[in-house]
Structures are given as C-alpha cells and as structure tokens.
Structure 1
Amino acid sequence: MSASDIQHADADGDSDSTGWDAVRELPPSAKLVAKVLEYNDTLTQSQLADETLLPPRTVRYALNRLEEVGVVDSRFSFADARKRIYTLRIE
C-alpha cells in the first residue's frame, strides 16, 4: 500500500485517520517501521531491524516515536522475556 493509497483510504473513511495522520508527521524511519508492522502482526526489535534494513538504534528511536503517538503497543515475549514484541494499533 502506497502513501497515496493511505490518503485515499483516509478520505473514504476506511482507516483510522487519526493514527495514520499521526504517523505522517513522524520521521521516515518511523513510517517504515509502521508499514512493516502493518504487514506483520508482531515483531521484535531485532526482527524489525532485519526487515527494514535499519540499524537497531534507528529502529529503537522509531518505535519510541510510534509509542509516543499511541500507534504501537509493546509487550514482553513469552518465548524470551528479555525481548519485547511490537504490534501496530492502526487498522
């Protein structure tokens, strides 16, 4: 889905415009992480770094920004409590 598809979906009321509008104001790295989470239900920070080809530090910054605007949830992994799993809250 491209940015123009998201804009059309927002105009039609098919998606949560508040969430995507908040993401649009964020840096490109945060937008990329949000899109990867949109296509994958849950990922860890290291999985996001692998999928986006971004450095771990950049992914961590992007996740913090996404959490600040309330579009990403995180929880501890049941498989490895040292890791957190991230999920996009925008439908």
Structure 2
Amino acid sequence: MSTTDAVTADDGAADRWAAVRDLPPSAKLVAKVLDYNDTLTQSELAEETLLPPRTVRYALSRLEDEGVVDSRFSFTDARKRLYSLSV
C-alpha cells in the first residue's frame, strides 16, 4: 500500500465519523461501542458504556437524528429495540 492509499483510507474513516464529530461525548461513546458490536439494545449499551440509561437514550436520539444509527424492533421481545451503526 502506498502512502497515497493510506491517506485515502484515513480520509474515508474520517468522513465516516464526520456526522458524529460535533455530537456530545456520550453519543460518540455509544457510536464507538456500536462500531465494535453489531447490534445492541439500549440496556446492553448502558451496560457496555457504563452510562445511565437516560444518557444512553439521549445519545441514541442524537445519533438517530444524524442518521448514524438504525433501530428496529427485536423479534424475540417486541418491547425492545435493537440499535446498529449505519455509517
């Protein structure tokens, strides 16, 4: 890989996170945890991030507003929503 290819790859990663850059730290943390895990519920996110559920809920709403996170209903428990990163 040439240095040009490496710079282009870095630019792609930077563009990927551009929508998250100006969000609160809690939203960035939730996005990063979703980046490492395919799909998590809100309670699983709270457990993984050690953030209060209310903070996770706020972070998810901000991420959804930016179009960074997709949510869908869980097939095993329709009361729960599953969140995944869409960038």
Q: TM-score, normalised by structure 1?
A: 0.82
Q: CA deviation at 1:13?
A: 3.4
Q: CA deviation at 1:22?
A: 1.2
- Structure 2 stretches of 5 or more lacking a match? 1-5
Q: 1:54 aligns with which of 51, 55, 61?
A: 51
Query: What's the counterpart of residue 12 of structure 1?
Result: 10
Deviations 1:10-45 (A, max 9, x none): 77333371x411101000000000000000000000
Flag the 1:79–1:53 CA change in 2: closer, same or farther, 3 A.
same
Identity %: 73
The count of aligned residue pairs is 82
Work out which of the two has the higher radius of gyration on C-alpha atoms and give 1 or 2.
Answer: 2
Taking only aligned residues, the RMSD between alpha carbons, in angstroms, comes to 2.0
- Report the AA paired with residue 53 of structure 1: L
Query: What's the counterpart of residue 63 of structure 1?
Result: 60
Query: What's the counterpart of residue 25 of structure 1?
Result: 22
Deviations 1:32-83 (A, max 9, x none): 0000000000000000000000000000000000000000000000010000
Q: 1:34 aligns with which of 28, 31, 35?
A: 31
- Report the AA paired with residue 87 of structure 1: S
Q: TM-score, normalised by structure 2?
A: 0.86
